[in-house]
């Protein structure tokens, strides 16, 4: 058995894949009439940079996320589980459209879901 199986990050295609995933994903998020308004005062360039780091870290890649704790970045914005589900739904569609398998897409969502309470404020 291989003692060092490739990380999810490596299986997805590493830095290059994540660099194309983030903008494609946010095109969908921003076009969603229920999600777009949350980002009206946000620097999309900075958000892309932070999300790139976060996704690399969350999938086991070699980058340390340098942004704010997720609870701080999301608290007080009124983000509900419904918004969260729309957001991850767009992520699933983007990953599948890019040719990621259903199994690996599920793995990404499992990793991301560990942050749900920080995003929707349930832990406050």
Ranked by CB distance to ligand HEM, the top (closest) residue is 67
Integer distance in angstroms from the first to the last C-alpha of the chain? 43
- When binding is defined by CB under 6 A, the residue of 39, 89, 96, 122 that contacts ligand HEM is 39
d(CA 65, CA 48) in angstroms, rounded, equals: 12
59 binds ligand HEM (CB under 6 A): no
Q: Which stretch binds ligand HEM (CB under 6 A): 5-13, 17-25, 67-75, 96-104?
A: 67-75
42 binds ligand HEM (CB under 6 A): yes
* Alpha-carbon torsion (10, 15, 16, 22), positive or negative: positive
Assess contact for 77 and 84: CB atoms under 8 A: no
Backbone angles phi, psi at 118, to 5 degrees: -70, -35
18 binds ligand HEM (CB under 6 A): no
- When binding is defined by CB under 6 A, the residue of 51, 59, 94, 105 that contacts ligand HEM is 51
Q: Which stretch binds ligand HEM (CB under 6 A): 2-10, 14-22, 47-55, 93-101?
A: 47-55
Assess contact for 90 and 69: CB atoms under 8 A: no
- Report, in angstroms and rounded to the nearest whole number, the Rg of the chain calculated over CA atoms: 14
* Residue numbers 72-91 binding ligand HEM by CB under 6 A: 73-74, 77, 79, 83-84, 87
């Amino acid at each position: 058995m291989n003692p060092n199986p490739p990380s999810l990050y490596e299986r997805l295609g590493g830095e290059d894949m994540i660099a194309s995933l983030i903008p494609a994903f946010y095109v969908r998020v921003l076009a969603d009439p229920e999600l777009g308004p949350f980002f009206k005062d946000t620097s999309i360039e900075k958000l892309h940079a932070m999300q790139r780091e976060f996704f690399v870290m969350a999938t086991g890649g070699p980058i340390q996320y340098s942004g704010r704790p997720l609870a701080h970045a999301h608290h007080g914005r009124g983000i509900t589980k419904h918004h969260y589900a729309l957001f991850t739904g767009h992520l699933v569609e983007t990953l599948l459209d890019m040719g990621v398998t259903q199994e690996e897409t599920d793995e990404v969502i499992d990793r991301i879901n560990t942050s749900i309470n920080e995003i929707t404020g349930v832990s406050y």
